[in-house]
Amino acid sequence: MRRWAGVALLLSLLLMPATGLPSEIQRGDHLWEDDDRLLARLDLEMNLPEVLIEALANGVGLDFRVEVRLERQRGVFTDRVVASAARRVRLEYYALSRHYLVTDLDQGRVELAPTLGDGLEMLARRLGRVVLEVEPGTVVPGLGYSLAGRVLLDQAALPLPLQWDARLRGAYMTRFGWYRWPLE
Amino acid sequence: MVSVAFGINRLPWGLLGMVLLFLLLLASLLVMGDAAQNSARFEQLFLWLLAFHVLVLVVLGTLIVYQFGRLIAQFRDGVPGSRLTLRLVAGFMLVAVLPVTVVYYFSFKFLNEGVDSWFDIRVDSALEDALELSRSSLDLRVRQLAAETQEIMRQIRDISEALAPLALNDVRVQVGAQELTLVGPNNRIIASSTDSPIRRLPSPPGPDILLRMSPGQPFTRLEPQADGTLVIRVVATAGDRRPGADSRILQGIYPVDPRMTALAIRVQDAFVDYREFAYLRGPIKQGFIFTMSLAFAISLMAALWAGLLVARRLVRPVTDLAEGTRLVASGDYSTRLAVSRDDELGFLVRSFNAMTRTLSEARHEAERNRRLLDAERAYLESVLQHLRSGVLALDGSLRLRTANAAACQILECDLRRGHNRFLFEFDEDCPLVAQFFEVIRDALLGGDEEWSREVVVFTRSGRKVLMTRAVWLQESGNNRGLHAIVFDDVTEFLRAQRDAAWGEVARRLAHEIKNPLTPIQLSAERLSRRLGKTLEGPDREMLDRATATIVQQVEAMKTLVNAFRDYAQAPRLELVPLDLNRLLSDVCELYVGETLPVEVLLDPAPGLPLIRADAGRLRQLMHNLIKNAIEAVQGRPDGVVRVTTHSVEDGNGRRVELRVADNGPGIRPEFIQHIFEPYTTDKPRGTGLGLAVAQKIVEEHAGIIECHNQESGGAVFVIRIPVSHGVDTGDVGEERE
């Protein structure tokens, strides 16, 4: 009987509807640090589905990526991307000290969080700061610009068996969709 | 239809396509299996491969369902070959499904149980224990460093800010710390010492650390570094005071022994890998099972599809043969099957084609012979039908085999409807045939191979003389044979001979008898004149009677001779378009009167066509016939002579028919045959030439005359004269008469 349990599980997984991640970008803000450096600040509410929490607890590291675009609004046409930047942050469980590690994969900076909640806060904080390098003269005053940001789970960084599930069911779908706010 | 494939057409394109599809599927499955082991390829290919395989599955499934549905429908409709195809497909299915299912079962079992066997609770426990050991070892170091940091904090808590850097540096070197930082109120760094030759900015404890600190308890934390090393962070306060605005805290960062770090991290990595692997056990199995199921499903579908194709390919020649055989059985020998194989089935198809070709040629030959025979038969039939002689063919048992049109006409019977009947069976419907057979039966049964005789049969219009000849035709190779009987109606010929003889007699009589009659009459009259003056009394009376008798008889003889002359000498005819109704009306008018004891009724047909005729001769003909009819009914109180005309169409064309009928006693049968011959009369004072002249007049007008007795009584004379072509009906001018 057990041997058919796998088939039943497989079928149930295939037939089970995908569950989305209730995370979202709550607010977007920006700040010109310099003439050619624009700091985008995203206020993120990070939550993980049970399956990812379980994976995290079992040693699976989760890579998140934040993408930010500066777009010029062109009416009926697709907005043109003027500048873009991304940042990758990993969240993983550190069994030796029973902490959660939040590693900025771009800068190599590591932070420790004693709980998952702290780790998610750190994650949100890390992901919520992205610097866009804007070429001087690109942004023309008077034209409409907007910033767009999104956060997604890097499924390719998941272990392959989890990628099956992620691909087949979209169970780990963590796309927030593009959140836009005007450039002022 | 001959369709033989050679060269490139003989390549099994369907089979090649199927093999290519299978190879493509196999390659895609291999790539999918490889992608399942490689994250980058998985990312790139998985969805495409999955979509491709699902598409292939859907297409194969649709094709299989369609083919099966079609096959079952053909099976229900009894299409040739469908039963065999179904059986073959069932066999292929069995052959394909059984091993694949067995392989799938054991693979499934192996995956389920084999993957589980990779994990052992003892390994799990050992790894957990090792990790716990590492933790304990590190905790021991952490606690030791916490105590040392606490002690240092107690020593320097009241040190002045000016001396603090030197003191911290000494202590740091002494305890082997990586960094020592003394933080004052508001998280202000009072002093800091580090082992790094490059001075780096000390980092004070963050608010998360300060919040977690307990009074009198140092905060400790093992921290991994980006370079893979471990450090121990200890934050200590002085005494039991909580870190606050007026207190100092000391943060020490101590490196962990590299060997211990390496061992601990190795243990942790092994533990994490094992836990991750154990956690992924389910998804791994699912992934393998999914790939295997996909491969199984595709293999099964492909096997079914291949089975269907192969079955159809195998059965197609058989189906074609069955259909071809059915066509041959129904007589279509032109059937040729396409030869598309070189195996035994191809040989069978070629043999079938050779057989049908031979049959077709034989049939064509037979058909050609049959056509020749038909042509010969038709020619013979045509000859027979156009013969004026009657021809009958009887088999040995005297069954009628053949009769031509002349035979039917002469014997007044449609003999062709009586094919295969015995001649003696023609009795009531064909009395002449019965009479004819009665006469010739003895001759037929007599065994003579050839004989001839004159056969006389009697019809309602008189007797017929049939000059009959027969011959026995023996068929070669067997005892069967045919009586070929040829007969001619020589009645008219004999009559014409007689008429000619009578004409000659009449001419001679007129010449030999009429000439002496006048001197006889003159002599008798002279005798009467000369002797009558000298004789008196009884002698004179006797002389007068004798001379009167001579003169009277001479006159009678003259009349007779004149009649013979009229019969023998045909006058010159003046044929003009003639309205027979008008002529009859004129003639019949002469016979209408109160003194005449017989009623003459004229019933002309309206719109009667004109005929070309001599009005004088026809008038004579009508007088003859009407007088003859009146004489026949004379003495009868209800005597009626009915004269009617009709327009009739017979085998010789359109004719005008004149009927003169009476209700007298009729003609005695023995007279009917000779009634138109001279000197044939049953009247005491007739010359016997009236009807002979009538017949002569009719024949002068290319007509026919016949007479017969009516069933209601009396005789009827029927005359048919051809219609004058190119002349309209008789309702036109009088000058035509």
pLDDT band (50, 70, 90) for residue B35: low
**Amino acid residing at A83:** A
Chain A CB contacts of B280 below 8 Å: 60, 159, 161-162
**Nearest CA among B709, B518, B545, B703 for reference residue B617:** B703
User: Average pLDDT for residues A98-104, to the nearest whole number?
Assistant: 91
User: Average pLDDT for residues B49-62, to the nearest whole number?
Assistant: 83
Sheet order of strands, A99-104 included: A109-113, A99-104, A77-94, A62-74, A145-153, A179-182
Encoded tokens for B114:
């084999």
Kindly tell me if the per-residue pLDDT of B429 is higher than 80: no
Kindly tell me if the per-residue pLDDT of B331 is higher than 90: no
Report the gap between the CA of B263 and the closest CA in chain A (Å): 11
Chain A interface test: which of B139, B209, B269, B279 (most A C-beta within 10 Å): B279
CB atoms within 10 A of CB B257: 13
Which of A3, A99, A164 is nearest residue B112 as measured by Cβ atoms? A3
For residue B3, what pLDDT is reported? 40
Lowest-pLDDT range of A8-22, B139-153, B462-476, B587-601: A8-22
For residue B569, what pLDDT is reported? 67
CB < 8 Å from B in window 26-85 of A: 54-55, 58-60
Chain B CB contacts of A99 below 8 Å: 221
SS3 B349: helix
For residue A15, what pLDDT is reported? 46
User: Average pLDDT for residues B636-648, to the nearest whole number?
Assistant: 91
User: Average pLDDT for residues B252-279, to the nearest whole number?
Assistant: 87
Report the gap between the CA of B48 and the closest CA in chain A (Å): 11
Q: Model confidence over B68-119: pLDDT tens digits?
A: 888 888 888 888 778 888 888 888 888 878 888 888 888 888 877 877 777 7
User: B290 touching A, CB under 8 A?
Assistant: yes
Lowest-pLDDT range of A62-76, B244-258, B268-282, B577-591: B244-258
Which of B109, B225, B272 is nearest residue A3 as measured by Cβ atoms? B109
Kindly tell me if the per-residue pLDDT of A22 is higher than 80: no
Q: List chain A domain ranges.
A: 25-182
Tell me how far CA of residue B423 lies from CA of B394, B410, B426, in angstroms. Answer: 9, 15, 6
CB atoms within 10 A of CB A66: 25
Lowest-pLDDT range of B195-204, B573-582, B617-626: B195-204
Lowest-pLDDT range of A169-178, B50-59, B253-262, B495-504: A169-178
User: Average pLDDT for residues B359-370, to the nearest whole number?
Assistant: 88
Q: Model confidence over A128-182: pLDDT tens digits?
A: 889 988 888 888 888 888 888 888 888 888 887 787 777 666 656 555 678 888 8
**DSSP collapsed to 3 states, B433-486:** HHHHHHHHHHHHHCCCCEEEEEEEEEECCEEEEEEEEEEEEECCCCCCEEEEEE
CB < 8 Å from A in window 298-327 of B: none
Q: Model confidence over B144-182: pLDDT tens digits?
A: 888 888 888 888 877 888 888 888 888 888 888 888 888
Q: How many angstroms separate the CA atoms of B686 and B255, rounded?
A: 178
**Nearest CA among B631, B583, B627 for reference residue B604:** B583
For residue A88, what pLDDT is reported? 93
Q: How many angstroms separate the CA atoms of B708 and B675, rounded?
A: 10
The greatest distance separating any two alpha carbons of chain B, rounded to the nearest whole angstrom, comes to 235
Kindly tell me if the per-residue pLDDT of A35 is higher than 70: yes
Does the distance separating the beta carbons of A162 and B223 come in below 8 Å? no
Kindly tell me if the per-residue pLDDT of A32 is higher than 60: yes
For residue B260, what pLDDT is reported? 86
User: Average pLDDT for residues B233-258, to the nearest whole number?
Assistant: 76
SS3 B209: helix
Lowest-pLDDT range of B257-266, B483-492, B687-696: B687-696
Kindly tell me if the per-residue pLDDT of A2 is higher than 60: no
For residue B113, what pLDDT is reported? 81
pLDDT band (50, 70, 90) for residue B730: very low
Instruction: Determine contact, residues B480/B390, Cβ cutoff 8 Å.
Output: no
Tell me the CB-side half-sphere exposure of residue B211, using CA atoms within 13 A: 5
User: Average pLDDT for residues B116-127, to the nearest whole number?
Assistant: 80
**Antiparallel, parallel or unpaired: β B704-709 and B219-224:** unpaired
Encoded tokens for B388:
């004026």
SS3 A4: helix
- Dihedral sign, CA of B422, B427, B432, B437? positive
Instruction: Determine contact, residues B277/B177, Cβ cutoff 8 Å.
Output: no
Lowest-pLDDT range of A85-89, B245-249, B322-326: B245-249
Q: Model confidence over B459-470: pLDDT tens digits?
A: 765 668 899 999
Percent above pLDDT 70 for chain B: 89
CB < 8 Å from A in window 55-114 of B: 108-109, 111-113
Instruction: Determine contact, residues B692/B661, Cβ cutoff 8 Å.
Output: no
pLDDT band (50, 70, 90) for residue B651: low
SS3 B428: coil
User: B133 touching A, CB under 8 A?
Assistant: no
Instruction: Determine contact, residues B176/B245, Cβ cutoff 8 Å.
Output: no
Kindly tell me if the per-residue pLDDT of B521 is higher than 50: yes
Does the distance separating the beta carbons of A97 and B279 come in below 8 Å? no
Encoded tokens for B30:
């291999």
The DSSP-derived string for B160-210 is: -TTTHHHHHHHHHHHHT-SEEEEE-GGG-EEEEEES-SS-----PPPHHHH
| Exposure string over B353-367, b if 16+ CB within 10 A, otherwise e | beebeeebeeeeeee
Which of A3, A96, A155 is nearest residue B108 as measured by Cβ atoms? A3
For residue A168, what pLDDT is reported? 66
Q: What is the mean pLDDT of chain B?
A: 81
> CB-based burial of residue A31 (10 Å sphere; 0-12 exposed, 13-18 middle, 19+ buried)?
exposed
Does the distance separating the beta carbons of A59 and B275 come in below 8 Å? yes
Kindly tell me if the per-residue pLDDT of B732 is higher than 70: no
Q: Which residue has the higher pLDDT, A21 or A79?
A: A79
For residue B717, what pLDDT is reported? 93
**Residue located via tokens 């001579």:** B550
Encoded tokens for B188:
């202000």
**Antiparallel, parallel or unpaired: β A129-133 and A62-74:** unpaired
User: Average pLDDT for residues B382-410, to the nearest whole number?
Assistant: 85
Which of A7, A10, A112 is nearest residue B223 as measured by Cβ atoms? A112
Which of A95, A103, A118 is nearest residue B268 as measured by Cβ atoms? A95
User: B115 touching A, CB under 8 A?
Assistant: no
Which of B135, B285, B293 is nearest residue A96 as measured by Cβ atoms? B135
Does the distance separating the beta carbons of A156 and B43 come in below 8 Å? yes
| Exposure string over B579-598, b if 16+ CB within 10 A, otherwise e | bbbbbbeebbeebeeeeeeb
pLDDT band (50, 70, 90) for residue A17: very low
CB atoms within 10 A of CB A109: 12
Rg (CA), chain A: 19
Q: Which residue has the higher pLDDT, A132 or B320?
A: A132
> CB-based burial of residue B241 (10 Å sphere; 0-12 exposed, 13-18 middle, 19+ buried)?
middle
User: B9 touching A, CB under 8 A?
Assistant: no
CB atoms within 10 A of CB B91: 12
Lowest-pLDDT range of A18-32, B526-540, B541-555: A18-32
Kindly tell me if the per-residue pLDDT of B603 is higher than 80: yes
Kindly tell me if the per-residue pLDDT of B224 is higher than 60: yes
Does the distance separating the beta carbons of A164 and B286 come in below 8 Å? yes
**Amino acid residing at B431:** P
Kindly tell me if the per-residue pLDDT of B734 is higher than 60: no
Does the distance separating the beta carbons of B108 and A162 come in below 8 Å? no
For residue B161, what pLDDT is reported? 81
Q: How many beta-carbon pairs below 8 A join chains A and B?
A: 114
Kindly tell me if the per-residue pLDDT of B711 is higher than 50: yes
Percent above pLDDT 70 for chain A: 79
**Nearest CA among B571, B652, B579, B654 for reference residue B613:** B579
Kindly tell me if the per-residue pLDDT of B62 is higher than 70: yes
Report the gap between the CA of A87 and the closest CA in chain B (Å): 17
Our measurement of the distance from residue B487's CA atom to the centroid of its chain's CA atoms, rounded to an integer in Å, reads 51
User: A2 touching B, CB under 8 A?
Assistant: yes
Kindly tell me if the per-residue pLDDT of B66 is higher than 70: yes
User: A167 touching B, CB under 8 A?
Assistant: yes
User: Average pLDDT for residues B27-32, to the nearest whole number?
Assistant: 74
Does the distance separating the beta carbons of A94 and B221 come in below 8 Å? no
Kindly tell me if the per-residue pLDDT of B737 is higher than 70: no
Q: How many angstroms separate the CA atoms of A66 and B343, rounded?
A: 68
For residue B1, what pLDDT is reported? 41
pLDDT band (50, 70, 90) for residue B643: very high
Q: Which residues share a beta bridge with B22?
A: none
Percent above pLDDT 90 for chain B: 8
**Residue located via tokens 């198809």:** B349
Chain A CB contacts of B138 below 8 Å: 96-97
User: Average pLDDT for residues B448-457, to the nearest whole number?
Assistant: 86
Percent above pLDDT 90 for chain A: 14
Q: Which secondary structure element, helix H or strand E, spans residue B206, and what is its range?
A: none
Q: How many angstroms separate the CA atoms of B66 and B76, rounded?
A: 15
- Kindly state the DSSP code that residue A104 receives in the 8-state scheme: E
User: B207 touching A, CB under 8 A?
Assistant: no
Which of B39, B280, B286 is nearest residue A10 as measured by Cβ atoms? B286
Q: Ramachandran region of residue B110, left (φ > 0), alpha (ψ -120 to 50) or beta?
A: alpha
Kindly tell me if the per-residue pLDDT of A27 is higher than 90: no
For residue A16, what pLDDT is reported? 45
**Residue located via tokens 């004798």:** B546
SS3 B94: helix
> CB-based burial of residue B278 (10 Å sphere; 0-12 exposed, 13-18 middle, 19+ buried)?
middle
Kindly tell me if the per-residue pLDDT of B293 is higher than 70: yes
